[in-house]
Structure 1
């Protein structure tokens, strides 16, 4: 995966709260810092996100985007 975002933080999904439209994804980084992102539930399901999955938090401007290899 190649992206233009310079701020790429690898972590593990600690918690995934799925709603009918949006899902809240909590990613824990090495050292214990947590980042929370709200993405569409469609995207969470398409990427097969689950608690324990390794993902990247991609930070661009005021958004946190979740990516997965």
Structure 2
């Protein structure tokens, strides 16, 4: 059975291999991969931030909850 340190080392090795592969690609492939990864990630993060802010501000809002 693998130890926790061994599993983290495997994760780090995979990340390092992907980073090395990406660094060796042309600029336009890097841009496409970056947008393909960061686009959905930023969209999900913005949705989470929106929900968190909405739930925090709902305590201080004057609007009726049924009107939503």
Question: TM (normalized to structure 1)?
Answer: 0.23
Query: Which one has the largest radius of gyration?
Result: 2
> Higher helix fraction: Structure 1 or Structure 2?
2
TM-score norm. by structure 2 comes to 0.23
> Does 1 or 2 have the higher relative contact order (CA < 8 Å, sep 6+)?
1
Task: Pick the structure with more strand per residue.
Answer: 1
